[in-house]
């Protein structure tokens, strides 16, 4: 069984992108792909469906380009991921309804 200890970065060498760790077999290096920690999927933003058409249907209030309402467009960056995903799942139905008119 390997005994891993805390990872350290040796910035004095030219290979600053390599991290080293101590194990029972000695010091080993592992390449680091990014300085940023991977984010959990639930914290990733939901991309806006806006396609810069921004013309709203008077009857439904939906944008003819993306299918959102004006309020949904305004609050997109402030809303929680669950609500954004719920809206995003409904957009194809909205757009199909607008095209069928």
In the chain, DSSP assigns E strands to: 8-9, 18-23, 26-31
Phi, psi of 72, deg, nearest 5: -65, -40
Give per-residue burial for 77-98: e unless 16+ CB within 10 Å, then b: eeeeeeebeebbeebeebbeeb
pLDDT value at residue 101? 76
Q: Encode the chain (101 residues) as per-residue pLDDT tens digits.
A: 555 555 554 445 444 444 555 555 565 555 555 555 555 555 557 899 999 999 999 999 999 999 999 999 999 999 999 999 999 999 999 999 999 87
pLDDT value at residue 31? 53
CA distance 58 to 68: 13
**Model pTM above 0.75:** no
DSSP class of residue 46? P
């Amino acid at each position: 069984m390997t005994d891993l200890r805390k990872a350290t970065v040796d910035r004095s060498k030219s290979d600053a992108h390599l991290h080293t760790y101590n194990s029972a077999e000695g010091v080993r290096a592992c390449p680091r792909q990014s300085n940023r920690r991977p984010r959990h999927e639930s914290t990733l933003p939901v991309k806006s469906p806006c396609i810069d058409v921004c013309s709203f249907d008077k009857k439904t209030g939906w944008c003819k380009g993306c299918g959102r309402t004006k309020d949904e467009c305004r609050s997109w960056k402030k809303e929680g991921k669950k609500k954004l995903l719920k809206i995003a799942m409904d957009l194809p139905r909205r757009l199909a309804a607008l095209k069928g008119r």
